[in-house]
A = this chain, B = another copy of it.
Amino acid sequence: MIQPVPLEKSPRLLNPGPTVLVSSAHGEKINVMAASWSMTLDFQPPKVAVVIESSSRTRELVDASGSFALNIPTRGLADLVLKVGNNSGKDLDKFKEFDIPYFQASKVKAPLIEGCVGWLECKVIQEPHNQKEYDLFIGEVVAAWADDRAFNNGHWIQMPKELNTLHYIAGGVFFVAGEMLEVK
């Protein structure tokens, strides 16, 4: 059910503004954090922007590897999103501690989290000023994937309720986006 997404359609995965999981890897270390501060930056070539705090383990791994992945979690992963958001990879191995299943990406080393509906593999475009001043990372999307029950033929579609995306509010609370509205 996981299908490749053409690169030129990949920014659409982030258009609705879902909360994402940022995964990263370097050497033997892997990590994942939650982020509500991400967005598409461009279609051609596809680029994304995401805020990665300077003191985080993710930052170390992204700095060292020059890459990361954005994973788009579903309603069913809300508990996991909160756990990886509330804990630091400096204190524990989140993948072991929370028993997070993942699979290999195609173009970067960052693990892709199972149960998500979209995945963007990204290589960092080095912008040291943005990184230092704003914790802002810009990535070029080099591969993308989607669960075809939620995103097919380059479009989000009406997905089964359990695949609805999460949109972070604060604390342990999210909006869930499921209903589709079409303007004629």
Residues of A within 8 A of B (CB): 12, 15-19, 36-42, 47, 49, 51, 75, 78-79, 81-82, 127, 129-130, 134-136, 138, 154-156, 165-170, 172-184
Contact = CB atoms under 8 A, between A and B. Distances in A.
Nearest to A129: B129
Given A172-B182, A180-B169, A49 B39 contact: yes
B41 A136 contact: yes
A127 B136 CA distance: 13
Chain copies in the assembly?
2
Contacts of A47: 134
A134 B15 contact: no
* Interface SS majority for chain A: strand
B36 A38 contact: no
A79 B130 CA distance: 36
A173 B182 contact: yes
B42 A169 contact: no
Contacts of A15: 36-37, 167-170
